[in-house]
Structure 1
Amino acid sequence: MNCAVVTVGDELLAGRTTNTNATWLCARLRERGVRVERVTTVPDRVGDIARVINEYRAEYDAVLVTGGLGPTHDDLTMEGVAAALGRSVEESAEALEWLTAEGGYAREDLASGTADLPKGARALHNEVGVAPGAALAGVYVLPGVPAEMEAMFEAIEDDFSGEAIHREVVVADEPESALLDRLEELQAEFSVTVGSYPGDSVRVSIESGDEEEVAAAADWLRARVAGVEDAE
């Protein structure tokens, strides 16, 4: 399974808010064997949201969208998702019933538009806040508040699964440029994905769905680089 993550918000693009949601989602999806192949941030504009979702729906098994939920003037994500899917936005009886029966809110206390979702969407209930999320046609819409987003994702995480990805990291005390020949040979010898990340030393990440292949590749590299140690 592969997917894309779309984060919505002018505050993210202005640098006023750190995009922790994308990092958290990527890590949790990775743990479930799902490959995240795109992370994109878009402004609070219906056209931008719809255009990116349309593009990614055609390419990936699922699209996760966070941010821009609620009844205020700049909460436009549901409209953007609805536009991408060719749906109208309407009050969700499912969302409204949960908010009043389980959420403990009186209907008259809810701001107008709180329960509005794209027509036909499955409501994703917000156990931590108010604004519901939605799931429809492989698009999952989650809140932008991290605690709300995390709780909502955990309620639907069984929708996301894939082949377990195994990883080992070898740390080499050599310049990255000096390792190029051995990294090329490593990739030729083993069916693994290799990434190198320089710093005070070079961290070489070795990944594959085959745990034994990863272990063999890591052992091969350890025997051929200077000053190595295991790393998480």
Structure 2
Amino acid sequence: MEVALVTVGDELLAGDTENTNATWLARQLTERGATVARMLTIPDDRALIARWVGEFADDFDAVVVTGGLGDTPDDVTIEAVADAFDRDLEVQSDVRDRIAEKARQFREEDPEYYETHDFDLDLDETAALPEGARPLVTAESFNPGCVVENVYVFPGFPEELRVMFDSVADEFGGDAVSASVETATPEGALKDVLDGARERFDVAVGSYPARRGKPGRVKVTGTDPATVERAVEWVDERVADAESEE
């Protein structure tokens, strides 16, 4: 299963907010055997979001979009995803009822907020989703996410994103497996090992240098566990030989 990640937000591109969502999602998907084939960060631009969501939906098994859900003028992700599939927005009554109930509970729990803030919630606008979308609602999120064909739309707040992703996590998977070999050998000295593993086995090989007191590693990824195991053994032998010669 090949997946593309799209994170949306001007604040991400400006460096005002660290893009922890992309890292977390990539790890979750990889652990489930999926392959993250693309990772893209784009601004709160409706036309740009629609363009890339549409292209990625055609090119990959699934697209995960996070950020830009809300009721402020720059929250345009839902509209953009609807544009990508040439769909109108619609209000599903159960989603609207759920938002109305959540607003009622919030008003009861924090009445002072309503007295000191201009909180004029448009229920229809908040509940609107692309026509035919499968809504994703959680107790942590006020605004709903959704699934449109093979596109999954999640909120940008990390706590809300993680709970909503968990609700559909079983829909992501694949055959990719990986294993790593630790090494103290400088990355530049491993070129022959990396090239040799790629040539001899049907695997992808990556090298990650040592950092923050942790050793470097060579990561082998493939779809056949036995092939990955043989490749790792082959790499391990040659890494050990390289280190013995230093």
TM-score by length of 2: 0.84
1:209 equivalent in structure 2: 223
Deviations along 1:59-78, one digit per CA (max 9) or x if unpaired, are 01111111111111111111
Q: Which whole-Å deviations, capped at 9, do the CAs of 1:152-185 have from their partners, x for residues lacking one? A: 010111221211x322222333333332223222
For residues 10-52 of structure 1, what are the alpha-carbon distances to aligned partners after superposition, in whole Å with 9 as ceiling and x for unaligned?
A: 1001000001111111111111111111111111111111111
* Superposition deviation, residue 100 in structure 1: 4.1
Tell me which amino acid in the other structure corresponds to 2:121: A
Within 5 Å, give how 1:29-44 maps onto structure 2: 29-44=29-44
Offset at 1:202?
4.3
Deviates more, 1:71-80 or 1:87-96: 87-96
Percent identity for Structure 1 against Structure 2:
43
Corresponding residue for 2:147?
135
Gaps of 5+ in 1: none
Structure 2 counterpart SS, 1:127: coil
What code does the residue aligned with 1:61 have?
A: D
1:52-201 to 2 correspondences below 5 Å: 52-100=52-100, 103=102, 105=104, 111-112=121-122, 113-163=125-175, 165-199=176-210
Please report the TM-score for the alignment, with normalisation by the length of structure 1. Answer: 0.89
Task: Identify the residue that residue 15 of structure 1 maps to in structure 2.
Answer: 15
- Give the conservation status (yes or no) of the 8 Å contact 2:177–2:221: yes
Unmatched 5+ stretches in structure 2: 108-118
Deviation >6 Å, runs of 4+: none
Alignment coverage as a number of residue pairs: 226
Q: Which amino acid in the other structure matches residue 121 of structure 1?
A: A
Contact 2:33–2:174 under 8 Å retained in 1: yes
Q: What is the alpha-carbon root mean square deviation over aligned residues?
A: 2.2
Contact 1:94–1:123 (8 Å) recurs in 2: no
Select the structure that is richer in helix: 2
